[in-house]
Structures are given as structure tokens and as C-alpha cells.
Structure 1
């Protein structure tokens, strides 16, 4: 679908007091400038070109107006990490974001925003508001959105930015849409690349976990040259991170709640029938009509491991079959990964050339290739109405003539009038599912910048152009084509008439020899490889000017103004077999394509109100406004106002108020996807729960008493909505920076900086799908299938949720507030220089509500859906340096959390997490209300450095030991995979790395 222009305008952004104040300030400034006498020509004054994140005004006085965290290259190197994203995710203000611990492919479906899984990417989330609400810049220019061949996303992949090119990173903890436009709601991350580099530097590193896995290696070469008029830099780098298997860590080699929580699709196979059978030994009578009288046989059978097969290659029914029980489920964990492999290669070049005294040309280009892999357990073949999200599989049966059919009758799905509910078989013979991503990023930026004089004043200007692309291919190996499965299970004569077709045996299990009864010939017919691709493109053209307009009583009025035009286009092209619905555990997927453009004008003013007055060393007012016109929804005006007051040289007070917005990205507008949500159906096994209210509600919904949820994922259809409006926001910060002069040269400190900032963000008309668990809970609680919460939920005759429509919408509000406290300290002594950097974030509240005022369950101190919001996160780094030697220690603290200690076994009197004694806060009357506490966690890291070892100038050795005390993540019963939250905790295990670098000029 193509984007269409609409003229409807979002409410609440057109006229505000701040907008009027900004407009008035610009108008008054113009009148004052016209009223001044013409200045006599004077010598041109060179601007103090300090570029400060959070403002386009290039002037030293602007520094300190907004809370900006500066991260040096040395700090990143000391961490021992080889990824920009991994370091940023250790910020105390960081929330949930994808990283290489998320082994999502094949395990969680695609997310509800149409953006795809983002497999292999690493993103940054600030304030727990989502990566899509953080703007990522490189040298002040927007970075292209990620593309991982599963959708069209709306966040940047930091794995496309190599560490080799990074000089420093700036993080703005404030809303900044008036300065930068869309996405800058929770904050801005600006990665500043290396410039003015002279000579050459070679860097190499190697590391691994104490267990001998997860090896990382890095090799970089950077060369640069230049003179007074010319600079050039070139960098080439290679980085590789190898895998860590879930089976190689105690926390993840099984399910935290035990084997009963495994997959019901086993290598032995499982068959579920209803009625029409007489083998009551394994198919006891059940009450299928709800009258309390067992009246029909219900078959849920499997075979035990090492069961021999008969002459036809299948066990004998019913002699070799036993009732299926949960302790026979399949443990898929050893096939998964707790750390996914990731390989990156990059080339970067930048140059600038001074054409004359007031004119400079600059250009930079980057190419980055990311190769990553996700892995999941062997793909299950499931036919019948329990097949997850696959319309074709719902209609597949087994012919009586199939030579391996042990039941002696046609197996016809319930949906087609038969008695077969499901047949499931996980062919471990076919190997694990492998998802290989290859992502290429191209970036080019060129421009002109210079100065011109107007009277006695100098003005800075620049024109620049950006063209960037992120293009991804994914190869999905070891899956199956369900249309071929259908032929192989059908009439053998039809199969024989089809070239290559071989009848399929999904009944034999692994056989007595344990090698499996699905032969290589059968696999060759049903196996297929899926090829998906996606692409994102971003083009930017902008013009900016900044300088001093005129003098006020206490200094010049500085301004910046400019124009920017951006064009976005993106597409997702799924494999033809996926589109046709022939791939198991994936819904029929449609291609996504869309584009839009935006034109923007902005202006900023910075006015010195007082200078060198009593109790006002400095007092500055800043205002900004940005007008954005989108081809998709109309126009938006956002504003920002800030006040900076320095009552004393040692104390700075500041406050900002800003309006923000986020335009819906292409996936949200036009994508269609399926999300494998980890949901517990409250009505699973309700008849034996002993909960009278639950029994009444589920009965009122028409759910059979025999219903039991199979598996722990419910596939929901979600995705694009081209009627979406932009999210809007209001952000407020106020804080103080105290740098006491009296402490300098004292016995206990040479410098001390204490910075405290209060933040508050209110996102309105937030774009998201309602939380699926909340919706299902509300549906069951309503006991009314016609209620609004049940509207998108369709159950089949057995009670199983057949479809769950949960589309994106501007559904409500998100409000969060908290405090950052950062302290820096340094002391020079006779035994060396000591330093400390202490970052802390306290989250006071996080409340998300839908359009009906109902609260989402995600909040502060709660672990939910691999997305915790800790009350407190803290990071303390203490270092020492003397001569050529340095040592350091870092402690990273996360406060305690609570989670729902509840799953699909809540109704089981012996197998619920509560009954098993696993919940620290059990509720025995209603196990769905049980909770478990995840205690506070602290990781300790050490690093050491040695400059000029053995007298070799320019050589440097570095050694890191991370997670010194081998702290394990907190066990999480509600997390989707691996038994812990990968967005909050590290990969289990102690990790060491060694780095060597050599630089010369």
C-alpha cells in the first residue's frame, strides 16, 4: 500500500501558550532588529562553534541548558564491550530494548507494530518508553531505521554503527521534538564520529566466558591525515560475537517450572480426537456437553520413548499408545540460544576541505554488514484446528490409505466435520530451525558549511544531504511446506502422481533405536527454505543558519533557524510460501510497502536575561518551535522552552518544558503481522479449578469443560492501521548541577560535580496494541462473548482460541516520572589519580492506560513480558591511574522486582507454580494472583590497563573481567525464554577479555 495524503490534523498541538510565546519572541526580535541603528562595518567576529546536543544554536552559552550525559571513547573501551548498543543498554536510564540475548526468531512471532522481530539488532530505550521513542543521530543527523527481514521497523539498530568510528556519545535525557522533530520523546542519542585523526591506530581484542563459549573478537584499523585545510580519516573494522547455547547454562537448559512447561508437540507425536472411537483404554469417556455425565470418548494419546514400531513403521493402536500427560512434554530449551552469534564488518571514510576562509566542504560514507543467526527447536508439524496460526494446517487430515496411519480410518479435522482435533509431531530428525540474517547498511552524507558577516556579526550556515539505506535478507532453514505435508499425508496415489512426493510417517515417533521414523527421503520432500527481505531508505536535505541577531542589555540574542526535508520508504517482502500460509507456526503474511515525506521549518532563540548580577551570574531563556508537515496525516507544531540560571559560579539550575510527537512508521501504518504472545488462558482447565466465579464465567463464554490450553503462545493478528495519528507528548525536567569551587585542591577532592534531574514524560494517544493478556483477562472477567474485550477473540468448538485480532490504535496514555542523580569525583594524590563516576536513576511512577481508562499491568517494580521497570538502577565506576598503569571497578545494581507467578497450570492442584512452592507470595485460593519476588542484583566488573608496555610508545594493553562473582540472573517464571529477562540481566557466567592497541603518528 502507498501512503495517501490526508489533511486531518492532530489535536492539541496547534495553539499552546508556549507556541504563542515562541512566535511572539521571533516577531519581537525582528522588530527590535529593524529598530536598531545600522552598525558600522567592523572586523568579522568568529563564532565560538560549540555544538551542543539539544540545540541547533552553536554557541558556548547554550551548553548546560539541557541534561546531557557525555560518554567518552575511553569509557566504552574500559567496559570491555565491543558494541555501542551493549554499552548504552547499561545506562541507568535505559529500559527494555532488543539486544543479541533476544533469540526471538521462531519463538515469539512478530511483534504487534508491524516492525518485525529485529533479530540480531541492538537498540536503545530510554525511560522505558520504547526504542521507537528515542531518536538516534550520528554527528547530529538522523540514522536510518533498522531492517531485519521480518517487517519495517521504527527504531535504529546500533549494531550498524561500528565502535571503530566512535569518538564519543551524547545522551539527552529530555524531549526534543521542537529541535529535532519526530521520535525525540524520551530522549536523543548522538554518536559523534572521530575527526581530525592523525596517524594510524590498530586495535584487536579477544574474550570469552569462563565456560569457554561466547567468544568475542575485534580487529580495527584507523588511519588519518590532514593539515590546516584538509582532513581525512579511514577506518575498517571487524567484530564477531559467537553463540552461547541455552543448554549450556543451568538457568536455561530447562523450564524454570519444570518439564511439564515444555512443548506439547513432542518427537514421539501426539494425537487428539473427540468422539467416534471405542478404544476406551486410552480414550476415556468425557463430559463433552457439560451436563455432568461422561458421554463420549476423548482421545489425547502419545507413545513412550523407545516404543518399537510395527511392520508399517508405526506403533500399534491402541496397544502401544498411552494417554498424554504433561510430564511427557518436550524440552525445547537446549536448542535455543542465550546469546546469538553476530558478525559485523564495516568501512568508514570521512573528509573535510576548507575551500576558502569562510567555506568548507565535508563528506562521510559508511558501509556496514551485519551477519547474525537465531536458532530455535526443530519445527513442529501440527495439523488440525490446534495448528498455531496456520489456516492451511487447520484443514489437513490423514488418509486411511496412508501406509503409516495406525488408526485404520480417515482422520478428518473437526473444522471439516471430522473428529480429529490435532496431530502433532516434532521431527528432531530435521534439525533445529535456523534463521540467518544478512543486513547491509549504506550511509552517505555531504555538505557545505561556512560563515558570512553582516555588519559586525558573523553567522554560521550549512547545507547538507544524507542518503542512507538498511537492507536485510533472512534465510529460514529447516522448516516445512504444509502443502507438501498435506500431499504426503493424503492418498498415496495422489502423492505418487506428484514428482518427488514421498508418503510421510508422523506417527512413528523416534522408534526403538531412537533415530526417528521420518526418513531422509521424507524430509527431502517436506523441508523447505524460506527467503524474506526488507528494506528501509532515508533521504534528508537540510539548510541551517545560526548566529547573533542583536544585542540585549546583557548580551546578544542568539538564534538558529532552518529547513529540513525527509523522505522515508520501506518494504517487507516475505517468501511466496509464507504469503500462501504454507509455513508452520506462521500466519499467512502479506507484503508491506509504504513511503511518506515530511517538510519541516524550525527556529530557536537563546536570550541572556541577566549577566554578572547578584544571585544571577547567568540567567538565560531559550525557546524553540518546529513546524512539520507530513504527507500521511497532516501537520504538527511543537515547542520547547528552557530556563538556565546560575546564581553562583558553582551552582547551575535549569528547567525545560517541551512538546513532542512521534509519527507512525511504515510498519505501524501498513504492516500486517502475527505475534506469538505468551498468554495464559484463564479458562484452561477451569472445570477442575475449584474457583466458582471462574467456572461460571468460562461456562458463560461457552467454553467446554474439557478445554485445556495447548502450549503457552497464542497467535494474535495485529499490525498496520493507516488511520493512526501521531503520538503527542509533554516533557518536563528541572534540575541542578553543583560544582563547588572550594573543593578544588582540598585533601579529599580536586573536583566534584553533582547533577540531579527530575523528569516527567506524558505520552498521549500512544500507538500500540492492547496488552493481549490484559484483553483476554478482561474478556473472561466480563463473562460476555459480546463484550468489547471479547470482540477480537474467536474460539473454536473445543474452546481453543482460533484467532485473536489485536490491531494497533492510538489507545491511551503513558505517564512516567523519576530522578537521575549523577556524581563525578576526582582526586590527585602522591600514589596516583583516583576518579569516580556514579550514575543513578530512580523511577517514581510508570502508568499506562487505555482509551477506556483501564490500567495496563506494566508498572514500576514489575517484571512483565521480558520488560522490567526497576525502581532503582545504579552504576558506580571507580578508577585509579598512576603513570602508565590503570585499574578500575564497576558495580551495576538493579533493584528487586515482582512478577506474576502464574501460568496455564493455575487450575491444576498439584502442578501450579503455587502448588509447587515456587512463589514467594502465594495465593492458594486463586493461584493466578500469586506473585514471586526477583531479588536485587549487582554485577561487578574489573578492568586494568598498561600504557607503553616494555617502553613501546603508543602500545596499550587492556584486561577486563566482567561479572567477577559469577552472578546469575534472577529466575523468571513469566519470561518467554531462557528463564530470565535478557533486557535486564547479563548472560550467565564470568567473562574475560584482552585488548591490544597501537597508535603512531
Structure 2
């Protein structure tokens, strides 16, 4: 059935150009055998320059970076945005996206135009690559760590929509990885690098063997890459919270106990704070207690009450930064083979096979044990009680969840940090036939292809805790004694007088467990294509490409049974997901030379999905060369992105980092805020205890595809006068304006924006508020329902500027390559008219959209010596200098003097500037080193001046935006390559 949300293409007229082809084969071989396929078009051409702007990164350029992964190379694109990489330590309770795609721990992705990685199509040799599998969901992005750098000949980047050419996902652009093909000989590469601190070591070893014969050619490659960890505690910016100890976790190793006392308490320890009758006067005391470090414990292992307890303050919060990682470790092993055989003069058979194994690790602070309703969504923990007979209970009464006990929270550092170990295996097989023939003096090229690929992942989560066993260990000792292995649990003793902890190894043995999750994604593709010349016009031949494709997607996520039953809770995806769908497509593309220097291109693609129906997209482009030195070009493209399996069938439950505006609203001094929070039924005593709010979101089988419009207009100027005057042997100036608009964007509304809108509305019946539920007694948000829908619109535009210059002199060859992206606008809205917080020049949700990003690469070569200097510039951005302490006159970020642009009257409006950053990378290479043919040595120093990332107060981890800035510290590397 046709999709009612999709626009019918205005380019259907292109079908009229499909003239018949005389199939009588010519006896001679093809004349234009040098034709190639350029990214952005399926038509094989001799001229490389097309209507769409394409950036090509060569193998030689990659070698000068010292990087060992495709993902790291693409992170430096000036047109790139926030994407997962090895600096994103996203396991645990952070990073779970609302789309059912999982956390993606250990993977590396690419974003273009800040439109997210799921809107970028990744190809390998012009064919689709299988989506990631990370054992935490079913994602819609490609993990670039599944493509070994050893097989890469070049990387092509198309910054334009191309759904009419390639189908779904090509909304923000296309990445094409070109593998090594015509390689003859043997090459060995080894490299080693590390930070000046002695950590973050990288090692790379590659062996490539190839042969090019008259009819047969083949390449075999084996590679091994290892990247070691960098701990947060080993970097100044990451070892602590920039705003001080109050911003730590309220779940501490000493324990925290929030109780309504049904036991005798000394004056002042538990002041009246709860207003039960609604008269505005607190009439029920609330104990918010902890024990001080090095508090002695009695013979039973717990402090005596009341002498061993003090009132909890924010200064006692726990700093979990030290337990995190700034750089996550991984190992990758791969085997790749490619072969091609000329069956006849004009027909070739090819086959490619790859196996890649990735082992990676994420680490987070020790897991929390939290019981009681104050930590909503905690399953069994919400209704877990502590028996008065528990030998460690110092209060002498039953502590009943929801009655006299709101929360007991203890961070058992005795059990060690959370460890997440991923193992990902990628298998790829592609084969096909390619050929060419001539008919009526016209050249034609054809190919048929088959691809079968799979990603399988397993994740082992170490050092988590079984809530069912905790429930038994806190209950009546007699019941625990009847259960083999059960040992009563002490949540009250803190770390004891000696600081070694009071949760014994026997207790840990009973409650600690490991969790094993798994996921799988598979992609099977059959395609057939035909390209050639149809007929001649006065200005040249009308060329075309047409083809059909069938794709079959399959994906599943299998969480551990303990997750599904709720016995283990870590604020992450807990629901099994599986699904599959099929796509049948046909396309036609035409290039028409209307004048000697003026060409237009048109494309039309029809896609039929088993999930939602059919989609038709079209594109139009032109290329005009008024003079030899000037090329003008432009494109308009319709695009779409089909919902992936996680969006259709997944369910995600996670802890979103949200600041509740109603936290401590009664002391804010803001009459409007006070009135709004009261209208929403929030108690005057409410105060948000942590930064994470339990959020439920997930799949929607009724989702329709996103639609998009993309527009580019630009020029390429290669002035003849520059060459004639001798100031350059090469000078190219390229300017491109881009504009992307995505409608019906699949998303859950930004949770922070929705909560802000709800509070501002003061009306619990409005759409902003209906998914937010609070505990009527405490005000705590107990659930935040934030489901996926086609509700968003994304609009962005900007300019790419590129200048390439080179000149040979008697002193050597000088080169400069300057790539720039200027983002003029980025706006995200929903169907309710809300504008989301993501915008140009703003740091939000651990990702920034800098207005200007620039890379300047300078090179010098003389004889066998090559020198390079790269400058990578990121423009300044600002962030909200605002968090859950805004309404605290002493502890707000504004009061602490941390905001560069404070608003003393309304701290929630304060801003903080993250200054502009420039990194300097140095490179030196020596060909034919020591007079040995084929031996190349290189030495590099990245971040030569040890530039630190600007401190980010709103970022979740490590004190800076890991999607934009480098790991702090200089990084040295040495590389050797020998080819024979």
C-alpha cells in the first residue's frame, strides 16, 4: 500500500527517457573500459567530478593520522557530529537511547550534519554493510569497528541526500569504504603509540598479500589492532566533578537511609519535612541519614543508632568519576580475502569474504543497591523490606517500603566496579558477476551481486547484584537460613572504622551475579544493475543506470533471564526484541548533456517494504562548466529512512539524565515556579535525589518512514591564472551550500524539554504532562513514559569550504588542504511546536553543534622525507549552567561562580561558555628508510601542545564532551611499513 506520508516524486518524467536498447552484441571489446562509478551515482563515467560534492580520504592520508580504526578517522570530519566512539564509556545506567537500539558499547559510528548516525548510509565498495550488534538492543547504525583499516584503500564521503540512488538511510549523506584491490606484492605494517602519561597504548599489525595477473587477481589481509584503556582518574579534567562533591551520586559507600521514624529519635536528627494534611506546615519528620566515614561498628557490624548516624548532606555524595574510563579498551582481529577472475574478455567473477572479531570493555562505578519506592522502576527493589530481625538493622523495627521506609541505598564498593565485556563477531560474504558489452556503438556495463552478512554480539556484565537474593538476605533470618547459600546482608555498616567495608565476601558471594546478554543482526542482499549510453544528443550521450535490489533484514536482542524477571536492574533495556522485514526496490538514473558544458541528472527509486508499504523518491542535479576553470553544480533530493527493528519492536527502560525544575521549588524565590509546581501537585518539600529519572520508551510497529528534502548548491574553481603565474601547480577552491530537512522524524521527545514544558504549562492534563507520573507523597517522578512516534522535524543548513593547494619548488613540494564546515542553523521541533534544546553553538545531551569546524593540513616533501602539520579547530559553544541545585541559593552552579554568563535572579537561565579549541598534530615520514627499497618509517605527535578539552558542566561523564574533543594529553606513535 502506498505510504500516505510520502510525497510523490516530481521527477517521474525521467521514465520517459528509458528508450529501448538494441541488444545485439558487438564483437569487439568495450572502448570506454576506464569508466568508473563515482559515489552519488550508479552511472559509470570517465569524468570523476559529479553533481554532488564528494570528499575522498586516501590511504596515504589515513596513514599520516596515527589512527588505527575507520571510526576514529571519520570522527575528524568537519561535517561530522555526535557519534559513538572509543571515548564514550556508555554502559551502565547512561547512554541507552530511546529507540530500542541499545547502548552500542564498544562500537564506533559516524554522524554527518549532526543528524545522527542512523541517518548516514555506510557502504563498502558501493554495497550496504550490516548494522551493528552490541548485545544491548537492535540498532540502526553501522559499527565501523567491524571494518578493519587494513582493507581500506580510500574513504569517500558524500554530504548529500541520496535515497533515490541508494535507498533508505541516505538522508544526511553516504560513506563508502573502498577496499584494496589491485595490490601486487607483500606489505607488512606495524605501529605503536601511547599517551605521554604512559597509558592508552595502541598497537597495530597488518599483513597484506596480493597478486595481479592477466586473468586473476587477489588480495589477502590479516590484521590485529589493540587499544588499551585510559582511566578517568588519570586525567585531571575527569577525576572529579567540575562542580565539586555535591554533584556526586547520592548513593554512597556509607549508605543512605530515608525513613519516616517509627522509632525514637533525638531532637534535630529527623526534622519535620512532610506535609500530610496539605496545610502547608510539615507535620511528619523524615530521617535522611547516613554514617560518617570511619564510623565504628558494633559487634554485629552496624553502627549503633542514633550515635552512629548523622544527617545526610550533599557534600557526602559519592564521586564515581574515578571508576569510569576516558578511553575504552578493545582488541580487533580480522581476516579479509578478495579475488577476481576474468571468465571472458568482458565478464569477471569476484568474491569477497571477511571475518572480524572485536573484544571491548566498558567500566562504570560500582553498582548501587537501592530498595524502596524512592528509586522508581527498580522492580523487586521497590517492594523490598528490611526485617527488624535482620542482625544488622540498627533501628529495631520492620522497615517497610512505602510505609516507614522510602529508600535505603548503599554502594557496595567492596564488590568492585561494573565491568561490561563485549565480544562481537562479524561475518561477510559477497560475490557476483560484472561485465560489459557494446551494442550499436554504445557501451553498457552490468553486474549481479549477492551479499550475506551477520553481526553477533555477547556482553557479560560483571559485578551486579540479584535483587531477589537481596530481598531474602534482608528479610527474616529464619527464611534466609532455609535457603542454601543465603547470608543476611548488612546495608548499614558503611565502610567501617578501618575503611575496608562491612559487606563481607560471604555476603557478596550470595548477592553478586553476572549477566549475559546477546544480540544479532543479519543482512542479505541481491542486486542487479545495468549502466550505459542510450543515445546521442548534440552535446553528448544520454547515459543511464537502472537496477533492482532485494534486502532481507533480521535482528534480535536476548537479555539475560535475570533481567527479564527483574532480579537484576541496571536502568537499561530489559525486554527481548526480535523482528525481520524485507525490501524490494527498483531504480532508474539518467544523465543528460543539454549543452556542451551543461549536464542534468535525474533519478527515481521505488521501494516496497513488508512493514509499512511503498515509498517513491526522486532526485535532480545539474553540472555546468561555463569556463574550463569553473564548475557550478547543484542537487535536490527526496529521501527517507525506514524504521529499523529496534524502533519497530524494541522497548527501552533507562535512567535519563534530567533536571527537575520543581526540585526545591519552595525555596527558589520564583513565584511563577512555585505556583506551577503546586498546580502539578508537587509537595513543597520535594527535592530531586539524583540526576537520573526512570524513563520508558520503545518501539511502535505503526511507525512510518521519515521523509527528507536535501539541497546543495556549490562551485569548484581551479584558476588557470594561478598555475600560469607559478604560485601553484594545483589550486582548487570548493564552496557548497547544503540544506537538509527531515519530516516525521522518529523520536521520543527530548525528556528534559518535555518536563520543562510540563512545568511551564502548570496543567497536568496537557500532552506534555500525561506521560509523567509522580509519587503524591514525595513528588518524585516514578515513571516517565516517552514513546517513539513520527513527531519530529529536523532542519539544518550551512556551508562547506575547501581549499586545496600544492606547488613544486626547488626546495621541495609544499601542500595545503583546508576543510571547513560552517553550520548556519540547526532546529529540532516536535508536532506540538516545541523547539528542542539542540541548536547551533550549544552543548546539549553530551553533544555539541559547533558553528565552525576546520581542519588545515600542511605538508612538505623532499626526496624521501615528508613532514606534516595538522590544525583541528572547533568553535566555542555554550551550555546550560543549570542542574538540580538551581533552587539552592548556596549550591547552584551560579552561586558557586562556575557560570561564565550567570543569571543570579534566575539560575536556570545561566549559561557557560566552552571556549574554542585547536589541536596541533605533527607528522614526519621517511620513505626508503636506511636506503632500503619499500621501507617506510613515520613518527607522529598528536595534540602536540597538550591542549585540554574545555570543561563541560552538563556532560554526563568525564567532564568534557567525548564526541567532540580528544582524550587529554599528547599522543606519540611510531609506524613502520615494508613492501616487497
**Is this a same-fold pair by TM over 0.5?**
yes
- Larger CA deviation: 552-561 vs 171-180: 552-561
Counterpart of 2:706 in structure 1 is: 727
Counterpart of 1:375 in structure 2 is: 363
Cα distance per residue 1:58-110 (max 9 Å; x no partner): 11246322100011001111011111111111010000100011101014152
Match of 1:449 among 431, 434, 446: 434
How many Å apart are 1:486 and its aligned residue? Answer: 0.2
- Cα gap change, 1:924/1:449 in structure 2, threshold over 3 Å: closer, same or farther? same
- Contact preservation (8 Å) 1:263, 1:332: yes
How many Å apart are 1:693 and its aligned residue? Answer: 1.1
Q: Secondary structure, in 3 states, of the residue corresponding to 1:924?
A: coil
How many Å apart are 1:788 and its aligned residue? Answer: 1.1
Match of 2:871 among 868, 886, 891: 891
- Contact preservation (8 Å) 1:673, 1:718: yes
How many Å apart are 1:24 and its aligned residue? Answer: 3.5
How many Å apart are 1:677 and its aligned residue? Answer: 1.3
CA distance in 2, matches of 1:244, 1:452: 56
CA distance in 2, matches of 1:910, 1:622: 64
Match of 1:137 among 106, 123, 136: 123
Counterpart of 1:17 in structure 2 is: 10
CA distance in 2, matches of 1:720, 1:806: 11
CA distance in 1, matches of 2:975, 2:30: 48
- Contact preservation (8 Å) 1:201, 1:221: yes
User: Does residue 139 of structure 2 align to residue 153 of structure 1?
Assistant: yes
How many Å apart are 1:745 and its aligned residue? Answer: 5.3
Q: Secondary structure, in 3 states, of the residue corresponding to 1:668?
A: helix
CA distance in 1, matches of 2:29, 2:871: 54
- Contact preservation (8 Å) 1:373, 1:436: yes
Counterpart of 2:715 in structure 1 is: 736
Counterpart of 1:614 in structure 2 is: none
Cα distance per residue 1:560-606 (max 9 Å; x no partner): 11000000000000000001111133367210000000000000111
How many Å apart are 1:746 and its aligned residue? Answer: 3.3
CA distance in 1, matches of 2:912, 2:3: 46
Within a 5 Å distance, the mapping from 1:689-700 to structure 2 comes to 689-700=668-679
How many Å apart are 1:748 and its aligned residue? Answer: 2.0
Q: Secondary structure, in 3 states, of the residue corresponding to 2:853?
A: strand
- Contact preservation (8 Å) 1:42, 1:456: no
How many Å apart are 1:455 and its aligned residue? Answer: 2.6
Question: Taking structure 2 as the reference length, what is the TM-score of the superposition?
Answer: 0.98
Counterpart of 1:864 in structure 2 is: 844
User: Does residue 581 of structure 2 align to residue 596 of structure 1?
Assistant: yes
Cα distance per residue 1:432-482 (max 9 Å; x no partner): 000000000000000001112323223111111000001100000000000
Counterpart of 1:635 in structure 2 is: 614
How many Å apart are 1:831 and its aligned residue? Answer: 0.8
Cα distance per residue 1:804-830 (max 9 Å; x no partner): 010111112111000000010001011
User: Does residue 686 of structure 2 align to residue 707 of structure 1?
Assistant: yes
User: Does residue 374 of structure 2 align to residue 386 of structure 1?
Assistant: yes
Counterpart of 1:747 in structure 2 is: 726
- Contact preservation (8 Å) 1:669, 1:724: yes
How many Å apart are 1:43 and its aligned residue? Answer: 7.4
Gap regions ≥5 residues in structure 1: 1-6, 612-617
How many Å apart are 1:715 and its aligned residue? Answer: 1.9
CA distance in 1, matches of 2:717, 2:135: 48
User: Does residue 466 of structure 2 align to residue 478 of structure 1?
Assistant: no
Counterpart of 1:3 in structure 2 is: none
CA distance in 2, matches of 1:12, 1:62: 33
Counterpart of 1:557 in structure 2 is: 542
Counterpart of 1:544 in structure 2 is: 529
User: Does residue 255 of structure 2 align to residue 288 of structure 1?
Assistant: no
- Contact preservation (8 Å) 1:600, 1:628: yes
Counterpart of 1:209 in structure 2 is: 195
How many Å apart are 1:700 and its aligned residue? Answer: 1.3
CA distance in 2, matches of 1:708, 1:374: 32
User: Does residue 813 of structure 2 align to residue 823 of structure 1?
Assistant: no
CA distance in 1, matches of 2:590, 2:297: 82
- Cα gap change, 1:588/1:394 in structure 2, threshold over 3 Å: closer, same or farther? farther
Counterpart of 1:85 in structure 2 is: 71
Q: Secondary structure, in 3 states, of the residue corresponding to 1:789?
A: coil
Counterpart of 2:152 in structure 1 is: 166
CA distance in 1, matches of 2:120, 2:636: 17
- Cα gap change, 1:700/1:945 in structure 2, threshold over 3 Å: closer, same or farther? same
- CA-based RMSD of the aligned residues comes to 1.5
- Contact preservation (8 Å) 1:961, 1:993: yes
- Contact preservation (8 Å) 1:861, 1:870: yes
CA distance in 1, matches of 2:97, 2:328: 19
Match of 1:419 among 404, 409, 432: 404
- Cα gap change, 1:331/1:729 in structure 2, threshold over 3 Å: closer, same or farther? same
- Contact preservation (8 Å) 2:467, 2:567: yes
- Cα gap change, 1:890/1:868 in structure 2, threshold over 3 Å: closer, same or farther? same
How many Å apart are 1:747 and its aligned residue? Answer: 3.3
- Larger CA deviation: 739-748 vs 120-129: 739-748
Q: Secondary structure, in 3 states, of the residue corresponding to 1:366?
A: strand
Counterpart of 1:670 in structure 2 is: 649
Counterpart of 2:941 in structure 1 is: 961
- Contact preservation (8 Å) 1:47, 1:460: no
User: Does residue 697 of structure 2 align to residue 718 of structure 1?
Assistant: yes
Gap regions ≥5 residues in structure 2: none
- Cα gap change, 1:949/1:256 in structure 2, threshold over 3 Å: closer, same or farther? same
Cα distance per residue 1:190-236 (max 9 Å; x no partner): 00000111110000001111011101010000011121110011000
Within a 5 Å distance, the mapping from 1:96-107 to structure 2 comes to 96-107=82-93
Cα distance per residue 1:493-526 (max 9 Å; x no partner): 1111001111100100000011111000000000
CA distance in 2, matches of 1:550, 1:17: 24
Match of 2:386 among 389, 398, 401: 398
- Cα gap change, 1:422/1:404 in structure 2, threshold over 3 Å: closer, same or farther? same
Q: Secondary structure, in 3 states, of the residue corresponding to 1:590?
A: coil
CA distance in 2, matches of 1:440, 1:347: 12
Counterpart of 1:312 in structure 2 is: 300
Counterpart of 2:217 in structure 1 is: 231
CA distance in 1, matches of 2:424, 2:603: 37
Match of 2:557 among 556, 569, 572: 572
Counterpart of 2:959 in structure 1 is: 979
CA distance in 1, matches of 2:672, 2:375: 30
Counterpart of 1:120 in structure 2 is: 106
- Larger CA deviation: 582-591 vs 165-174: 582-591
Counterpart of 1:913 in structure 2 is: 893
Match of 1:529 among 488, 511, 514: 514
- Cα gap change, 1:820/1:109 in structure 2, threshold over 3 Å: closer, same or farther? closer
Q: Secondary structure, in 3 states, of the residue corresponding to 2:3?
A: coil
CA distance in 1, matches of 2:26, 2:865: 58
User: Does residue 857 of structure 2 align to residue 877 of structure 1?
Assistant: yes
Counterpart of 2:979 in structure 1 is: 999
CA distance in 2, matches of 1:121, 1:42: 49
CA distance in 1, matches of 2:571, 2:444: 57
User: Does residue 672 of structure 2 align to residue 685 of structure 1?
Assistant: no
- Cα gap change, 1:762/1:894 in structure 2, threshold over 3 Å: closer, same or farther? same
Counterpart of 2:488 in structure 1 is: 503
Q: Secondary structure, in 3 states, of the residue corresponding to 1:79?
A: coil
How many Å apart are 1:11 and its aligned residue? Answer: 2.2
- Contact preservation (8 Å) 1:388, 1:585: no
How many Å apart are 1:317 and its aligned residue? Answer: 0.9
Cα distance per residue 1:338-383 (max 9 Å; x no partner): 1100110000000000011121100000000111000001001000
Counterpart of 2:166 in structure 1 is: 180
CA distance in 2, matches of 1:913, 1:277: 38
Give the count of matched residue pairs: 977
Counterpart of 1:793 in structure 2 is: 772
- Contact preservation (8 Å) 1:277, 1:297: no
Counterpart of 1:358 in structure 2 is: 346
- Contact preservation (8 Å) 1:537, 1:569: yes
CA distance in 2, matches of 1:8, 1:582: 45
CA distance in 1, matches of 2:175, 2:40: 10
Question: Taking structure 1 as the reference length, what is the TM-score of the superposition?
Answer: 0.96
- Larger CA deviation: 779-788 vs 881-890: 779-788
